[in-house]
Amino acid sequence: MIDLLIRNALVVDGSGAKPFHADLAVKDGLIATIGKDTSPTHETIDADGLALMPGIIDNHTHYDAQITWDASASPSPALGVTTAIIGNCGFTIAPCREADRDLILKNLTQVEGMSLEVLKAGTKWGFESVPEYFAMLEKQGVALNIAGFVGHSSVRTYVMGEDAPKRAATAAEVAKMRDIVLAGVKAGAVGFATSTSPNHNGHGGTPMPSRLADDAEMKALVGCLKEAGHGVFMLTKGGQTRIEFLEELAAASGRPVVVAALLHNNTNPHAVFDELERIAAANARGRRLFGAVSCCPLTMDFTLRSPYTFEGLAAWKPALSLTGPAYRAILGDAQFRDAVRREIAEPPVASRLFNGEWDKVYVENVAREENRRWQQQTVAELARATGVEPLDAMLDLALAEDLGTEFSALLLNSDERAVGEMLRHPHSLVSLSDAGAHLTLFNDAGFGLHLLGRWVRELGVLSLESAVKKLTGDPAAVFGIQGRGALKPGHAADLMLFDPETVNRGPKIRVKDLPGGGTRLITPAVGVHGVWINGARVADEKGLRRLEKLSGRVLREFSA
């Protein structure tokens, strides 16, 4: 007897082939048949013209800590995500000695825009090594399928302690790191992840440890993937890291390289396309490089208490380690402001988040009634009205409100013509949701629904079948995820049933549902009628269901 039969669906199978109408049957968590099926069934759903696709594979998340207290990894499953890859950029919580737990969490607070109070209240430990972390997740259970990277910064901290963010590693230290990376990949990690981005700072404004690695260290650790026989090298790239060097790593290891984060910058509009063309040239030489691009505009909500938007600026660095009155004092210091202003005025680099577009920074909410008139005004408008420079206008308002003013900045990917070109590039990978991180700044966990709604239905930039392939079949192929990412008999029944006429992500809302009462931004699903993970329904048109059983898997086997 069949467990589930979905009748009359518009099947978009993840291969890029044209959609077709059919029934899909599920038995024992797997797709049994696609076509007309008359077998007895426990449950039948008449899709009545709705579309059925494989579940979305979100290849860039940061659920490493959240998954320890929230097995559902919300809100992703309700947004059609059935597989999430964690540990991106090398920001993991394993390996970690007990003595380093506070430091690891403090680093996440800074680099991923998380609340330290939430992380301390929620994170469940009980592991030290990467294999022990995976084993803990398996014992606990997960609602969606999870694949995890070995994270460079955590490995460096484990081996080098307090020196990890300060200096290059010795040959002996690199050898110890190599043992840890290799053990993690052999235990089932999906690969090795790192970051050289100047936007990635840890506790007290120090660089995240991976930023101190030299080329020899990178070569040794990426080389572990060749010995393991599988795995992806994922890197969030700083301006000093050349695509040519990444091609060398791909050639030496024989493994794919995912290059993040390729976002369009209006003030340096050709930079991202130059990077994609270098990636294309590497592929033409037989290497496998992929440019991780986003289909979403990068919009951040922030206060000056945690101004991630500006923390990648070198001139902002003196403020990173300060708190309380000392921090407020430097925000008011004329020399500090002049240095920030000068840097913003310099020619932009691809990795810089903010490039002086003050007309795209809004006063979202004010903290004092007398400033209500500035709400929903741009900082550029505020500056003109008050007769000061935009940076001064923003900082003066924030200081007058004890840093409680909420701003919203449209930073990158605002030119939809350019983003459409990036999405169509043959070597781009739709990515960069950052789900699980930057919880108070933005939430792009619904990136897949945005791709289907905005880029397919509203703009017609992609066909439905090509967009679904980008969300499912393509990441499954890049990361070697077996038996998922396509609708075919024998594959896991990871499914999303949706209305192509309405599908999208809803407007952002702020909820207070984190450990200790912490808040976050979420975007609800629109037009999603059902999500199944390994054959079990986890979401319907009302959102995430109450889960009596956790049907996800910790994925540990990947194709070579």
> Does 526 lie in the same domain as 493?
yes
CB neighbours of 80 closer than 8 A, spacing ≥ 6? 55, 56, 448, 449, 496, 498, 525, 528, 531
Domain containing residue 375: 300-410
**Of residues 51, 44, 34, the one with CA closest to residue 487:** 34
CA dist 200 to 100, 352, 410, 420, 553, Å?
19, 11, 19, 27, 30
Last residue of a domain, one of 380, 410, 440: 410
- Is the domain of 96 the same as that of 124? yes
Instruction: Say if residue 314 is in the same domain as residue 197.
Output: no
Q: In the 8-state DSSP scheme, what is residue 451?
A: I
CA distance linking residue 295 with residue 444, whole number of Å: 10
Same domain for 242 and 275, yes or no, is yes
Q: Do 403 and 423 share a structural domain?
A: no
Q: What is the pLDDT along the chain (560 residues), one digit of tens a residue?
A: 999 999 999 999 999 999 999 999 999 999 999 998 777 899 999 999 899 999 999 999 999 999 999 999 999 999 999 999 999 999 999 999 999 999 999 999 888 888 899 999 999 999 999 999 999 999 999 999 999 999 999 999 999 999 999 999 999 999 999 999 999 999 999 999 999 998 899 988 899 999 999 999 999 999 999 999 999 999 999 988 999 999 999 999 999 999 999 999 998 999 999 999 999 999 999 999 999 999 999 999 999 998 989 988 999 999 998 999 999 999 999 999 999 999 999 987 766 889 999 999 999 999 999 999 999 999 999 999 999 999 999 999 999 999 999 999 999 999 999 999 999 999 999 999 999 998 888 899 999 999 999 999 999 999 999 999 999 999 999 999 999 999 999 999 999 999 999 999 999 999 999 999 999 999 999 999 999 999 999 999 999 999 889 999 999 999 98
328 and 278 both lie in a single domain: no
Indicate the SS3 state at residue 42: strand
> How many Å apart are CA 474 and CA 57, to the nearest integer?
9
Tell me the C-alpha distance between 80 and 103, whole Å: 34
Say how far apart CA 361 and CA 409 lie, in whole Å: 4
**Structural domains in the chain (count):** 2
How would you write 256-298 as a 3-class SS string? CEEEEEECCCCCCCCHHHHHHHHHHHHHHCCCCEEEEECCCCE
Can you give the pTM of this predicted structure? 0.94
CB atoms within 10 A of CB 268: 15
Is the same domain home to 79 and 205? yes
- Within 8 A by CB and 6+ apart from 44, the residues are 4, 5, 6, 7
Q: Are strands 81-86 and 56-58 parallel, antiparallel or unpaired?
A: parallel
Is 249 a member of any domain?
Answer: yes
Q: Looking at residue 350, what is its pLDDT?
A: 64
pLDDT score of 353: 87
Does 260 share its domain with 332? no
Q: What is the pLDDT of residue 111?
A: 80
CATH code assigned at 496: 3.20.20.140
| 551 inside domain | no
In a domain, residue 176? The reply is yes
My answer on whether 78 and 210 are in the same domain is yes
Question: Is the domain of 472 the same as that of 332?
Answer: no
Q: Same structural domain for residues 223 and 305?
A: no
Same domain, 263 and 154: yes
Tell me, yes or no, whether 161 lies in a domain. yes
